[in-house]
Amino acid sequence: MRAALTRLAAPALLFLLLLAVPFLGIGGGFVLDLLTRAMILGIAAVSLSLLVGGAGLVSLGHAAMMGIGAYAVAALDAAGITEGMIVFPTALAAAALFALVTGAVSLRTSGVHFIMITLAFGQMAFFTASSFSSLGGDDGYTLYARTEILGSPLLQDRRSFYLVCLALLALVWGGCTAILGSRFGRVLRAARENERRVRAVGFSPVPYRLVAYVMAGAVGGLAGALLANASEFVSPASLSWTRSGELLFLVILGGLGRLHGAILGALAFVLLEEWLSHLFVYWRLVFGPLLVLAVLFLHDGIAGLPGSLRAWSRWRPTFSKRRSADA
C-alpha cells in the first residue's frame, strides 16, 4: 500500500501542477498553448511507452497513428462535419484499424526487423497523406473550424481546450497504468522479459501484443485529432519519420518503465524546443547533440533522475565496466 502511494506521488504531483497552471495566470495564452501541445504529445508518448516499456515493442512508426487521427479530422472538416462525437470516434477507429493491419504483419517479426517495418509502414502512411490532393497534398490543409463537443465550441476557448487535454491525458495515463497491472498487462510484460517462459505456460504472445499495438494506435489517433485542433492545420509533416523518432525520444527522455515519464519527456521536449528555437536559427545543432548525450548518459530518463543522481554521487572512477567486459 505504502509502495503504491509513493509510486503514485510523482504522477499525482505532476497532474496537480498542470491543473494549477491555467488558474495561476502564468505567462498568458502563449504558455497555455505550449503546454497544451506538450500534453497532446504526452498522450501519444504514454501510448508509445505502453508499447516500448510495457510490451517491448519498439515502434518507429507511431507518428503515423497520430497523422491518421489528424487526417480524419481534416477529412471530416472538408466534408463539413465538426461534431466531436463523430470526429473523435472516427479518428480513433481509423488509427486503430491501421494499427491492426500493419501490426498483424509487423508482429511476425521482432527486434530490429520490427523497428524497420514499423518505420516502413509509417512512410507508407506519409506518402499516402502527401497524395491527398483534395486535402492539400504536401502543403497540408487548414481546418475551417475546431471540433465541437455536442454542438458547443468547447475547444475554441484556450483554457477549456487545455483542461480537456489535461483530462484526456490523465485518463490515458490512468488507463495505461491499469492495463499494465491487469492480467493482460502481466502477460505483455512477461512476454517482453521472457517469451519462451510465457509460451511454456500456455500463452501465445502475438494476440496480446497485437491488442496492445491496436490500443496504442487508437490513443495515438486521439492525440493526432487533438493536435489537428490545436494547430488548426494538418500536413504530411506530422506523419514524417522524424516525428516518430521524436516520440520515441520523448519516451526515453522521460524514462522507460514509468508511464508518467513519457509526460515529463514531452514537457521537457516541447519547452526545450521552444526555448532553443528562440535562441538560435539552427537550433537543432544544439538539440541534436543534447539528444545524443541524453541517450548516452541519462539511462533512466528524467523520471529516474533522482535515482541516477544518487548513483552518480557514489560513483568512483574504477574505469568503465563496459570496456573491461570485452577483454
Partner 1 sequence: MPEPLLELRGLCKNYGALAVTDDVSLTVLPQEIHAIIGPNGAGKTTLIHQISGTLRPDRGSVLFAGRDVTALPVERRARLGLARSFQITSIVPGFSVLENVALAVQARSGSSFRFLRPAGSEAAINRDALAALEAVGLAGAAGRMANALSHGEKRQLELAIAIAMRPRLLLLDEPLAGAGPEETARLIGLLRDLRQRYGILLVEHDMQAVFSLADRISVLVYGRVAATGTAAEIRADPEVRRAYLGEDELA
Partner 2 sequence: MTLLLVQVLNGLQFGVLLFLVAAGLSLVFGVMDFINLAHGVQYMLGAYVAATFGLWLDSFWLGLLLALPVALVVGLLLEWLVFRHLYRRDHLSQVLATFGVILTLDEAARALWGSAPLNVPQPGGLPGGIEIMAGLNYPAYRLVIIGVGVVVPLLLWFLVERTRIGMLVRAGATNATMVSALGVDIRRLFTLVFAFGSMLAGFAGALASPVFPVAPGMGENVLILCFVVIVIGGIGSIRGAFAAALLVGLIDTLGRAMLPDLLRLLLDPSSARQTGAALASMLVYIVMAGLLAFRPAGLFPGPRA
Taking CB under 8 A as the binding criterion, the range among 29-37, 102-110, 152-160, 224-232 that sits at the site for partner 2 is 102-110
Which one of partner 1, partner 2, none interacts with residue 322, CB within 5 to 8 A by kind? partner 2
Nearer to partner 1, 188 or 266 (CB): 188
- Write the single-letter amino acid at 255: G
Q: Under the criterion CB under 8 A, does residue 172 sit at the interface with partner 1? A: no
Contact status: 17 vs partner 1 (CB under 8 A):
no
Using CB under 8 A as the binding criterion, the count of chain residues that bind partner 2 stands at 45
Calpha distance 230→242 (Å, rounded): 20
Element (H, E) at 55: none
Q: In degrees to the nearest 10, what's the CA dihedral of 47, 263, 229, 98?
A: -10
If one asks whether residue 203 binds partner 1 (CB under 8 A), the answer comes out as yes
Q: Which of residues 12-71 bind partner 2 (CB under 8 A)?
A: 52, 58, 60
The DSSP call for residue 234 is E
| Beta-carbon count within 10 A of 190 CB | 16
Distance separating alpha carbons of residues 32 and 182, to the nearest angstrom:
35
Contact flags string 132-171 toward partner 1, x per CB under 8 A: ----------------------------------------
CB of 87 to partner 2, least distance (A): 24
Angle at 44 between CA 208 and CA 211, to 5 degrees: 15
- The answer to whether 100 and 221 are in contact (CB under 8 A) is no
Residues 125, 112: Cα–Cα separation, whole Å: 20
Q: Which of residues 236-255 bind partner 2 (CB under 8 A)?
A: 241-242, 245, 248-249, 252
Nearer to partner 1, 193 or 326 (CB): 193
Amino acid letter, 248? L
289 phi/psi in degrees, rounded to 5: -60, -35
> By CB under 8 A, is residue 108 in contact with partner 1?
no
Tell me: does residue 133 bind partner 2 (CB under 8 A): yes
Residue of 22, 53, 185, 236 that binds partner 1 (CB under 8 A): 185
Residue from 202, 323, 324, 326 touching partner 1 (CB under 8 A): that is: 202
Q: Which of the ranges 3-11, 79-87, 125-133, 138-146 carries the binding residues for partner 2, by CB under 8 A? A: 125-133
One of 179, 222, 223, 291 touching partner 1 (CB under 8 A): 179
Answer yes or no: are the C-beta atoms of 141 and 15 closer than 8 Å: no
The three grid cell numbers given for residue 314, joined into one nine-digit string: 557514489
What residue spans of 202-258 are helical by DSSP H? 205-231, 241-254
Burial classification of residue 232, based on how many CB atoms lie within 10 Å of its CB (0-12 exposed, 13-18 middle, 19 or more buried): middle
For the CB of residue 197, give the shortest distance to partner 1 in the complex, in Å: 5
Tell me how far apart the alpha carbons of residues 163 and 170 are, in angstroms, rounded to a whole number: 10
From the list partner 2, partner 1, none, pick the one residue 159 interacts with, judged by a Cβ distance below 5 to 8 Å according to partner type: none
Residues of the shown chain interacting with partner 2 in the complex, contacts defined by CB under 8 A: 52, 58, 60, 102, 105, 108-109, 111-113, 115-117, 119-121, 123-124, 127-128, 130-131, 133, 241-242, 245, 248-249, 252, 281-285, 287-292, 295-296, 322, 325-326
